[in-house]
Amino acid sequence: MPTVLGQNQYGKAETRVVRVTREGPVHHIRDLNVSIALSGAMDDVHTRGSNAGVLPTDTTKNTVFAFAKEYGIASAEEFAVRLARHFVSQQETIHTARIRVEEYGWDRIPATGGAAHSFVRRGQETRTAQVTYDGDGESWQVLSGLKGLVVMNTTDSEFHGYVKDRYTTLPETRDRILATEVNAFWRHAGRPEGEKPDWDASYERTRGHLLAAFAGTYSLSLQQTLYAMGSRVVDQEPGIDEIRLSLPNKHHFLADLRPFGLDNDNEVYFAADRPYGLIEATVLRDGATAAVPVDLTNLP
Ligand SMILES: O=c1[nH]c(=O)c2[nH]c(=O)[nH]c2[nH]1
């Protein structure tokens, strides 16, 4: 039976681009997920295998990074309009461009001197709690926590001086983005009986310590930042003896714009979602015994 080609489109889906704009020490970020679908005179590639009219999807991805550098990202709409106009006007075979953009909102982390380059992603976190008790007053275990608290520093992060073996390719860096999703559980000392504890206030303070330590730490590794975050909680909260932190390193790689004759002075990043480094540790009050589960992934 003869066949005909129906509706078709192609392009690069989900290019994750982060654009940093610096006004001295004050940084601004736009964080987009851009999906491009192009259509037009594409019969030949489907039916005859001729690529003569095909602009590679890889090129469409590169265009996203190059435009982020050259024009900045004033808004999702403006950026998408510019891309759509470019593809349709530059390539004869492309008649229609559909650009979809998701934008992730970030707020500045308040309350620290370093907040000008420190951000927390809007509306992501979940507060968690786990209580166990077997009738014996000594057995109370109250854990409070959070997951999905996504934070970013656009400077004050370095990573160098690490072990290099024959498989190491990572370049050393003196200025990188440090971003992570904070997943944490902390254990309250003592019993929850007696004077009614104000759990909500305790949660807000602890969350505040985590954010302030993330923003305020000049980081030589995510491990160092983790320890600073945990220590701040235990130091500042006498009622918390232990905190377990699980921090995925949300890597942001500088987009290589040299092939297009553009420099990239820490302005345009590719936000990779996987694989990711996973940095996990417990921070304890000296003398306390570790009791928070090591693996937080399947907890509430
Ligand atoms: O902060 C970091 N810690 C690491 O252990 C590590 N490993 C890596 O490749 N990048 C990073 N970054």
Please give the distance, rounded to the nearest whole angstrom, from the Cα atom of residue 206 to the centre of ligand 1.
Answer: 26
Residues 250, 104: Cα–Cα separation, whole Å: 14
Q: What is the pLDDT of residue 190?
A: 84
| pLDDT, tens digit (0-9, with 9 covering 90-100), for 193-225 | 877 889 999 999 999 999 999 999 999 999 999
Return the structure tokens found at 165: 């073996």
Please give the distance, rounded to the nearest whole angstrom, from the Cα atom of residue 214 to the centre of ligand 1.
Answer: 16
15-23 and 26-40 strand pairing = antiparallel
Q: Is 221 in the pocket of ligand 1 (CB under 6 A)?
A: yes
Q: Residues with Cβ < 8 Å from 171, sequence gap 6 or more?
A: none
| pLDDT, tens digit (0-9, with 9 covering 90-100), for 178-199 | 999 999 999 999 888 877 889 9
Helices (H) and strands (E) in the chain, counts: 5, 12
Mutate to test the pocket of ligand 1, among 165, 176, 221 (most ligand atoms within 8 A of CB): 221
Q: Is 240 in the pocket of ligand 1 (CB under 6 A)?
A: no
Please give the distance, rounded to the nearest whole angstrom, from the Cα atom of residue 181 to the centre of ligand 1.
Answer: 15
Return the structure tokens found at 91: 């390539």
Q: Is 222 in the pocket of ligand 1 (CB under 6 A)?
A: yes
Considering the candidates 12, 27, 188, 209, report the single residue annotated as catalytic: 12
Give the nearest ligand 1 atom to 170 CA.
Answer: 9
Q: Is 277 in the pocket of ligand 1 (CB under 6 A)?
A: yes
Q: Is 196 a catalytic residue?
A: no
Q: Is 128 a catalytic residue?
A: no
Closest CA to 11 of 50, 46, 43, 59: 59
Give the nearest ligand 1 atom to 221 CA.
Answer: 1
Which whole number is the average pLDDT over 80-97? Answer: 98
User: What percent of the chain has a predicted confidence (pLDDT) above 90?
Assistant: 92
141-153 and 178-188 strand pairing = antiparallel
Q: In what order do the strands lie in the sheet with 26-40?
A: 94-103, 26-40, 15-23, 268-271, 252-254
Please give the distance, rounded to the nearest whole angstrom, from the Cα atom of residue 125 to the centre of ligand 1.
Answer: 24
Confidence of residue 4 (pLDDT cuts 50, 70, 90): very high
Q: What is the pLDDT of residue 164?
A: 98
| Cβ-based neighbour number of residue 278 at 10 Å | 13
Q: What is the pLDDT of residue 114?
A: 52
Q: Is 128 in the pocket of ligand 1 (CB under 6 A)?
A: no
Q: What is the pLDDT of residue 105?
A: 97
Residues 136, 120: Cα–Cα separation, whole Å: 41
Torsion 82-84-86-89 (CA) sign: negative
| Cβ-based neighbour number of residue 282 at 10 Å | 19
Which residue has the CA at smallest separation from atom 12 of ligand 1? 221
- The CA R_g of the chain, rounded to the nearest whole Å, is 24
Considering the candidates 61, 147, 251, 252, report the single residue annotated as catalytic: 251
| pLDDT, tens digit (0-9, with 9 covering 90-100), for 249-268 | 999 999 999 999 999 999 99
What's the pTM value of the predicted model, to 2 decimals?
A: 0.95
What does the mean pLDDT of the chain come to? Answer: 96
Mutate to test the pocket of ligand 1, among 162, 172, 251, 253 (most ligand atoms within 8 A of CB): 162
